[in-house]
């Protein structure tokens, strides 16, 4: 017996395909346009004990590195695409970046905000004083985020479309991407890592972790005893350690611990993907 597919379902599928092809075609057209760049640099010496960073961009990656200097340097590479190189160069030069340094008592906040443009953006590379940075908030709509090894109090990394890589120790850590991978090392009292479409591949120190992905695998490496609460709707759940005690052992939900006095607490869930925790 042949299976009948409703006409409205076929129509919806065709419309989705047409829309997707249209988006791909538009993206390809933009990517072949001439690209030109213009750079702005913000730098200064600071003598405060604490420094906060709040960078928000629309198009472009953000990379943060740390050095043992009492100064910061922020390199903002403005780029644009247009029909001609001359037009692209002018668009890049005209792209606006709002930057300010706000000081209060023994603290300074660096604020950076870029203009929203479809065919233009800003790639930000920042070099910050390692000992002074306490609060960090990085956000971009379309681009990757990378943070070199740092110890801070609060860190928030957000992108709608891009990968996030960090090596972070902080009291509170928030990492979120709608479409991209999450990688790196994270340690904190309260750590939340979430992506809708992408895998998560991380190493954990001490702390409490809440890890989620809708579409992708989760691979977690721990170096200490841990408790776990793991779920997967479509995918395997595996715990690899010398000694594991299960308090719940079902195909789609497993709970347990490697030691009753563990200092690592892992909650992880994937809708379409495997969840694997390995102790080394």
Tens digits of residue pLDDT in 71-93: 999 999 999 999 999 999 999 99
pLDDT of residue 28: 53
How many structural domains comprise the chain? 2
Residue 136 belongs to a domain:
yes
pLDDT of residue 181: 99
Q: Are residues 135 and 185 in the same domain?
A: no
Pick from 142, 173, 207: which residue ends a domain? Answer: 142
- Alpha-carbon span 231 to 121, nearest angstrom: 38
Could you please report the per-residue DSSP string of 173-185? EEEEEEES-EEEE
pLDDT level of residue 228 (50, 70, 90 thresholds): very high
- The pLDDT of residue 161 is above 60: yes
* Average pLDDT for 176-198: 98
Q: Would you state the structure tokens that stand for residue 242, as one six-digit string?
A: 């010398």
* Average pLDDT for 137-161: 97
Structural domain boundaries, residue 271: 181-279
* Average pLDDT for 103-117: 93
Q: Are residues 270 and 186 in the same domain?
A: yes
pLDDT of residue 4: 41
Residue 247 belongs to a domain:
yes
Residue 244 belongs to a domain:
yes
pLDDT of residue 240: 98
pLDDT level of residue 244 (50, 70, 90 thresholds): very high
Q: Would you state the structure tokens that stand for residue 250, as one six-digit string?
A: 């079902």
Checking DSSP bridges between strand 120-129 and strand 71-81, what pairing results, if any? antiparallel
Residue 71 belongs to a domain:
yes
pLDDT of residue 73: 98
Residue 154 belongs to a domain:
no
* Average pLDDT for 249-271: 98
- The pLDDT of residue 7 is above 60: no
What 146-151 contacts at long range (C-beta under 8 Å, 24+ apart), as own/partner pairs, is 146/61, 146/62, 146/63, 146/64, 147/63, 147/64, 147/184, 148/64, 148/65, 148/66, 149/66, 149/185, 150/64, 150/66
Q: Dihedrals φ, ψ of 118, to 5°? A: -75, -45
Q: Are residues 236 and 186 in the same domain?
A: yes
Pick from 142, 169, 196: which residue ends a domain? Answer: 142
Checking DSSP bridges between strand 264-272 and strand 226-234, what pairing results, if any? parallel
Residue 21 belongs to a domain:
no
Q: Are residues 185 and 267 in the same domain?
A: yes
Question: How distant, in Å, are the alpha carbons of 55, 113, 121 from that of 94?
Answer: 19, 15, 11
Q: Are residues 185 and 97 in the same domain?
A: no
Residue 52 belongs to a domain:
yes
Q: Are residues 134 and 39 in the same domain?
A: yes
State the chain's mean pLDDT as an integer: 91
Pick from 112, 142, 172: which residue ends a domain? Answer: 142
Q: Is 162 in contact with 126 (CB distance < 8 Å)?
A: no
Over residues 29-74, the pLDDT tens digits come to 567 899 999 999 999 998 878 999 999 999 999 999 999 999 999 9
Residue 16 belongs to a domain:
no
pLDDT of residue 105: 83
Q: Are residues 42 and 102 in the same domain?
A: yes
* Average pLDDT for 235-245: 97
Contacts of residue 26, Cβ cutoff 8 Å, sequence gap at least 6: none
- The pLDDT of residue 162 is above 90: yes
């Amino acid at each position: 017996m042949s299976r009948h597919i409703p006409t409205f379902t076929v129509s919806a599928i065709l419309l989705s395909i047409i829309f997707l092809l249209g988006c791909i075609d538009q993206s390809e057209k933009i990517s072949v346009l001439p690209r030109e760049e213009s750079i702005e640099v913000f730098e200064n010496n600071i003598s405060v004990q604490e420094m906060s960073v709040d960078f928000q961009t629309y198009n472009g990656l953000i990379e943060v590195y740390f050095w043992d200097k009492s100064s910061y340097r922020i390199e903002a590479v403005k780029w644009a695409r247009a029909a001609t190189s001359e037009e692209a160069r002018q668009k890049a030069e005209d792209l606006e970046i709002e930057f300010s340094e706000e000081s209060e008592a023994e603290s300074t906040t660096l604020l950076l905000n870029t203009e929203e443009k479809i065919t233009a953006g800003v790639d930000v590379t920042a070099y910050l004083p390692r000992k002074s940075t306490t609060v960090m908030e990085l956000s971009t709509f379309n681009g990757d985020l990378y943070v070199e090894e740092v110890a801070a109090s609060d860190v928030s990394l957000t992108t709608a479309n891009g990968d996030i890589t960090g090596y972070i120790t902080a009291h509170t850590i928030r990492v979120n991407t709608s479409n991209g991978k999450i990688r790196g090392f994270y340690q904190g009292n309260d750590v939340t890592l979430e992506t809708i479409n992408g895998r998560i591949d991380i190493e954990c120190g001490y702390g409490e972790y809440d890890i989620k992905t809708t579409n992708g695998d989760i691979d977690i490496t721990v170096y200490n005893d841990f408790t776990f609460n793991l779920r997967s709707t479509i995918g395997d759940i595996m715990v690899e350690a010398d000694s594991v005690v299960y308090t719940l052992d079902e195909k789609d939900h497993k709970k347990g611990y490697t030691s009753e006095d563990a200092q690592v607490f892992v909650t992880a869930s994937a809708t379409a993907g495997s969840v694997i925790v390995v102790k080394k």
